[in-house]
Amino acid sequence: MTILKPKIQLLDEEHKIKVFNEAMDILENQGIFLENKEAIKIFKQHGIDERNSRYFIPSDLVDKCLESIPNEIKLYDREGKEFLSLTKDNVHFDPGSAAIFILDEKTGEIREALSKDFIHFSKIVEQLQFIDAQSTAIVYQDVPKEAQDWHRLYLALSNCYKPVITGTFRKESFKIMRELLLACRLSEEDLARKPLAVFDACPSPPLKWSDLTTQSLIDAANSMIPSEFVSMPLAGASAPITLIGSITQHCAESLAGVVIAQLTKKGAPVIWGGSPAVLDMRRGTTPMGAIETMMINIGDVEMGKFLKLPTHAYMSLSDSKVPDAQAGFEAGMGALLAGLAGINMVSGPGMIDFESTQSIEKLLIDNEIIGMVKRFLKGIENFGAPFASNILKAYDKKQELLSHPLTLKLFKKELFLPSPIIDRLSRDAWKDSGSKSIRKRAIEQTLKLEKLSPIKPIDEILAKQLDQITSANI
């Protein structure tokens, strides 16, 4: 029995209520900017007032929409097996998505990605024990621009069985992506019942739902496919510099998403997520590894939990350009804090250089970090008293406890056993094995993982179907 579930909180009940009420007030009196025709039509049908493309959403309508949202989303793997559940304080990780570059582990250079890089990446993700879902993590350059969003879903599904976090860059792509997903299911109802993919929907700060992202949210809602809000207030630039102000803006933007989804289709599944950041006041960049970025994320998620919704955040990323000590501590702090906040889906592993680059080396290191985080979250267990005295009596007899039955029974349960990526050698042994850095060890581990056969090989007929859909659309 776990004694205490490890947990952190940054907002108390009083402040959650204040943030929520102010967000409702912002929607009602300042309004959100909307330009998508379908959404505008739906809003008009519900009598939502408009002035200069700003829509003023009354609080009672938001309340009503909140009532119909599911508070749990289960994701299923490619083969339709239940895989993970986004609810309560369940914690899952997926690779940070839509990197436009990769750090080539062979040359050490950051470069534009090719489809073979994403295939390689997806196969590695399949093997990583603590990366729970995959994502369309890399945007590659050797397909036509019009296919750059949906083609990633094709390669993801073809090379890894885990559920996918994805998204569109063009309105037209949703249809193709839905077709790819349907190929993995028996029918539309089956896909709605057993979601395989989540679509990111990213409002533009402050308070704007763009045409593209609104359409994605509407299309997904119509098919009962989960959407994940990625509201991204930039504190000090497009959002208040105060953390509480940014959290309030995130809440308003996300509540607007709730309304769009629920008015499109009652009960449509959505995830309360985000990628907020603080503006770096020296360089004007958007540090994902900043501690305040993580604090805003945690506050945002607490608001999601306050509303009893599944939650998401972009954490466990680094702004460093190589998987160095900075990448390690930023990813490590992010992953642990995300775990302690009970975030249902944490996007970030593998990512460096803000949100621009994926690194397989870092992904493997992050996998170890997440292993440790998940161990931490299990807390300290009570195996029954006495806790030590009997075991110590046994020590007196044998002068060691390695062979104690309890050690053998529990060491795999009590300890997280890292891969050789984590250095625990003696100094001499470390020297003898080539004095390797963690990057070198991660690359060596990649070479091992590459050689493994898929955990769940794709069915040949399904693979062909996915190929056909792709060739028909490219």
Partner 1 sequence: MSQESFYKEISEAIVSLDREKAISFAKKAIEENMNLLDVVEKGFGAGIRRIGELWEEGEFFLPELMLGGNIVQESMEILLPFLKANKEDIMSGKVVIATIEGDIHSIGKTIVATMLSANGFEVYDLGADVSAEKIINTALEKNANIIGVSALLTTTMIGQKKLIEILQDKGIRDKFKVILGGAPVTQNWVNECQADGYADNAIEAVKLIKKLMD
Region label for 353, one of left (φ > 0), alpha (ψ between -120 and 50) or beta (otherwise): left
Region label for 129, one of left (φ > 0), alpha (ψ between -120 and 50) or beta (otherwise): alpha
Helices (H), 47-161: 59-67, 115-127, 150-159
* Distance between CA atoms of residues 156 and 165, nearest Å: 10
Query: Considering the complex, what minimum distance in angstroms separates the CB of residue 328 from partner 1?
Result: 24
Query: Considering the complex, what minimum distance in angstroms separates the CB of residue 327 from partner 1?
Result: 18
CA 278 to chain centroid: 19
Query: Considering the complex, what minimum distance in angstroms separates the CB of residue 114 from partner 1?
Result: 14
Largest CA distance in the chain: 83
Query: Considering the complex, what minimum distance in angstroms separates the CB of residue 231 from partner 1?
Result: 14
Query: Considering the complex, what minimum distance in angstroms separates the CB of residue 19 from partner 1?
Result: 24
Query: Considering the complex, what minimum distance in angstroms separates the CB of residue 285 from partner 1?
Result: 8
Q: Which is nearer to partner 1, 96 or 342 (CB)?
A: 96
Question: Could you give phi then psi for residue 129, rounded to 5 degrees?
Answer: -60, -35
Q: Which is nearer to partner 1, 223 or 254 (CB)?
A: 254
Strands 312-314 and 345-347 come out as: parallel
Cβ contact 178:196 at 8 Å:
no
Cβ contact 215:201 at 8 Å:
no
Q: Which is nearer to partner 1, 63 or 142 (CB)?
A: 142
Q: Is 53 helix (H, G, I), strand (E, B) or coil?
A: coil
Cβ contact 102:138 at 8 Å:
yes
Q: What angle do CA 146, 179, 257 make, to 5 degrees?
A: 75
Q: Which is nearer to partner 1, 52 or 403 (CB)?
A: 52
Query: Considering the complex, what minimum distance in angstroms separates the CB of residue 99 from partner 1?
Result: 10
Given the rule CB under 8 A, which residues bind partner 1? Answer: 100, 139, 145, 148, 169, 204, 208, 210, 234, 236-238, 279, 281-285, 354, 356
> 145: which residues sit within 8 A by CB, 6+ positions away?
none
Q: Which is nearer to partner 1, 64 or 170 (CB)?
A: 170
Query: Considering the complex, what minimum distance in angstroms separates the CB of residue 112 from partner 1?
Result: 9
Query: Considering the complex, what minimum distance in angstroms separates the CB of residue 128 from partner 1?
Result: 26
Q: Which is nearer to partner 1, 203 or 310 (CB)?
A: 203
Q: Which is nearer to partner 1, 237 or 422 (CB)?
A: 237
Residue 312: both structure tokens together: 């998401």
Query: Considering the complex, what minimum distance in angstroms separates the CB of residue 138 from partner 1?
Result: 12
Residue 414: both structure tokens together: 């009590």
Q: Which is nearer to partner 1, 148 or 227 (CB)?
A: 148
Q: Alpha carbon of 46 to those of 57, 258, 392: distances in Å?
A: 10, 15, 71
**Burial bucket for residue 100 (CB in 10 Å: 0-12, 13-18, 19+):** middle
Q: Which is nearer to partner 1, 285 or 465 (CB)?
A: 285
Query: Considering the complex, what minimum distance in angstroms separates the CB of residue 284 from partner 1?
Result: 6
Residue 85, strand partner residues: 74
Where would I find the beta strands (DSSP E) of 408-468?
Answer: none
Residue 46: both structure tokens together: 């519900």
Sheet with 312-314, side-by-side order of all strands: 93-94, 345-347, 312-314
CB atoms within 10 A of CB 398: 10
Q: What angle do CA 216, 218, 249 make, to 5 degrees?
A: 80
Q: Which is nearer to partner 1, 90 or 204 (CB)?
A: 204
Q: Which is nearer to partner 1, 105 or 319 (CB)?
A: 319
